Structure 1
Amino acid sequence: QIGVDKAKQHGISLVSIANSSHCGALGVYLYPALDAKMISMIFTNGPAVMPAVGGNSPILSTSPIACAIPSNPPMIIDLSTSAVARGKIASAAKAGGSIPQGWAVDEKGEAITDAKQALMGMLAPLGGAKGFALGLMVESLSAGLSGGALSRAVPDMFNPDDDKKAQGISHTVITINPASIGKDSKDGFDGLAASITASGGRVPGSKRVSPNNLGSGEITLADAVISDLNSWSQKLGLENI
């Protein structure tokens, strides 16, 4: 919201945050800008899990990127620059499942398909060297810019020995007010979204539900996830789900 307020005044803003922690899905934080008909870009680092191409130790986090364009429907990009978000591997590990080849590797660069082993291993960059380059940009724009902890120094919340340590993660939020350009960019944004739909494609983010409009729909959870949530409910004095 700080970024939105400053972009209203100056046309563009950059908010740098240090000494933070894991913030969940980045896409959730795009909506203040979308509600104000602005563009938002968010970058964050985290525990190191992604090696350089040819490297044998993790250098970067999953280095996620989120971006929202105020078209109709909104175009929302929310992705990790590793081959997969680590949360998907964590879900597979809780369910006792396996993961596809190409998601995770060991220190020798060999594929890992056991989800629990992969959670403690390394994640392959999305698209090889291109994914690592994008991740390097994210690391530079978050931890590098803020002066916060680089990913190699961030405690890993999936490691029982580290999960009680302060992480010191960094985030960067860039907000752009299209109205400040002086042109009706809305037509361009809408036209781009319409061209995707006309081609038979799906506009990224078109199936998302804004946090402001959450309904009473249902989601399917693995038994292990439900058990874990109920365990926390008991610790916090809440009802089981």
Structure 2
Amino acid sequence: MTETVASAEALASGLLTAAGMDPGNARTSARCIVMADVWGIGSHGLMRLPYYLQRMAAGGYPPDAELRVVDDTGPVVSATGGGGLGHWQLWEAAGLAVSRCRRYGIGAVAVADSGHCGALGLYTVPGLREGLLTLAFSNGPAVMPPWGGAKPLLSTSPLAAGIPARPRPAIIDMATSAVARGKIAAHARRGTQLPEGWALAADGTPTTDPQEALYGMLSPLGGAKGFALALLVESLAGGLAGPNLSADVPDMFTESDAPNPQRIGHVLITLDPARFAGGGEAAAKRLDRLAASVEDAGGRLPGRDRVLPENVDPHTPLKVDDGTVRELRQWAERLGVPPE
């Protein structure tokens, strides 16, 4: 089914508000959810909304959760999200990181006790708007075994970076598993087989069955080196922010886990290029040159085609999976949200 960006955002916002969220937080969350679809990351877009609503109804994402600062040194801020949905919380944290970076040259914001935040690269956008470089890290339920092991220990350990190159920024957004878990869920919904090398069954054997993979494990990206990178992400998001390490995070895709807060950790680090060697425009010009050299060599700058939210035409058509549409309509009826 084809929607528009505006109608999809209105539906998502209406559902989240009806589920008990503050209307402003619901609008911010809806924008982030739909932007994942706009960016072609459907595994983190509207497909996830029924799971969010299920968890909110069961208490796993308290709809009235607040974002509260618990420690503030100036350049480093630690906040807690009360178990709530992560999208609006991390968007607010990104804005705070930008303001602290402007003052100190660096802004590091940790959000503890939060929920899934969707496409992590979105939270580099506030920094990119100001010509700042942002790094983002998050954790989630354990789905990746240690290299050589057969027990899930780490999440997909996603990381993102927004690099303020001109005339267009680079946006890196990746899982350190061979594939994001949302893509496994998308295959499971469609009933299509997985490519080889993506996943392992619960007993550690390779599988192309998406249902086995969804309740099994994901292979690390690049073998032992990918696992080491995932361990670094977990150390930042789970170790520093927390409070849960991935091994303790309830699974979004397991219905019996819906009442249990995930208590995910997120960390954002924003850097001002002007505060680095050369001062003023020197670092910014080096980043511009670096980005240009990628394309001059025949390569593709990561995320170069991702439109920033403020540049998206609200009338842009948005293809939504029919199964997702059916589920959202059922939730609209359940929550008393009138059809658009």
TM-score surpassing 0.5? Answer: yes
- Alpha-carbon distance between aligned partners in 1 of 2:204 and 2:289, rounded to the nearest angstrom: 43
- Alpha-carbon distance between aligned partners in 2 of 1:155 and 1:197, rounded to the nearest angstrom: 42
Query: Match of 2:63?
Result: none
Query: Is 1:23 equivalent to 2:121 in the alignment?
Result: no
- Alpha-carbon distance between aligned partners in 2 of 1:109 and 1:142, rounded to the nearest angstrom: 26
- Alpha-carbon distance between aligned partners in 2 of 1:76 and 1:44, rounded to the nearest angstrom: 16
- Alpha-carbon distance between aligned partners in 2 of 1:123 and 1:76, rounded to the nearest angstrom: 24
1:99 alignment partner, SS class = coil
Query: Match of 1:197?
Result: 295
Please report how far the alpha carbon of residue 70 of structure 1 lies from its aligned counterpart in structure 2 after TM superposition.
Answer: 0.4
Query: Is 1:224 equivalent to 2:319 in the alignment?
Result: no
Distance 1:201 1:22, change over 3 A: same
1:100 alignment partner, SS class = coil
Distance 1:120 1:33, change over 3 A: same
Q: Which has the higher contact order (CA 8 A, sep 6+)?
A: 1
Total equivalences in the alignment: 241
Query: Match of 1:4?
Result: 98
- Alpha-carbon distance between aligned partners in 1 of 2:309 and 2:330, rounded to the nearest angstrom: 26
> Any conservation in 2 of the 1:94–1:225 contact (CA below 8 Å)?
no
Please report how far the alpha carbon of residue 109 of structure 1 lies from its aligned counterpart in structure 2 after TM superposition.
Answer: 2.7
Amino acid across the alignment from 1:39 = L
Q: Summarize deviations over 1:140-166 as a string: whole Å, max 9, x none.
A: 011101241100001001011112210
> Any conservation in 2 of the 1:95–1:225 contact (CA below 8 Å)?
no
Query: Match of 2:249?
Result: 154
> Any conservation in 1 of the 2:187–2:194 contact (CA below 8 Å)?
yes
Query: Match of 1:79?
Result: 174
Identity among equivalent positions (%) equals 48
- Alpha-carbon distance between aligned partners in 2 of 1:61 and 1:169, rounded to the nearest angstrom: 11
Q: Which has the higher helix share?
A: 2
- Alpha-carbon distance between aligned partners in 2 of 1:135 and 1:224, rounded to the nearest angstrom: 32
Amino acid across the alignment from 2:329 = N
Amino acid across the alignment from 2:325 = I
Match for 2:215 among 120, 124, 143? 120
Unaligned runs of 5+ in 2: 1-94
Query: Is 1:60 equivalent to 2:144 in the alignment?
Result: no
Please report how far the alpha carbon of residue 133 of structure 1 lies from its aligned counterpart in structure 2 after TM superposition.
Answer: 0.5
2:295 alignment partner, SS class = helix
Q: State the TM-score, normalized to the length of structure 1.
A: 0.95
- Alpha-carbon distance between aligned partners in 1 of 2:319 and 2:152, rounded to the nearest angstrom: 33
Please report how far the alpha carbon of residue 240 of structure 1 lies from its aligned counterpart in structure 2 after TM superposition.
Answer: 5.0
Over 4 Å off, 4+ runs: none
Please report how far the alpha carbon of residue 107 of structure 1 lies from its aligned counterpart in structure 2 after TM superposition.
Answer: 3.7
2:222 alignment partner, SS class = coil
Q: Note the aligned Cα RMSD (angstroms).
A: 1.4
1:42 alignment partner, SS class = strand
1:63 alignment partner, SS class = coil
- Alpha-carbon distance between aligned partners in 2 of 1:147 and 1:156, rounded to the nearest angstrom: 16
Query: Match of 1:47?
Result: 141
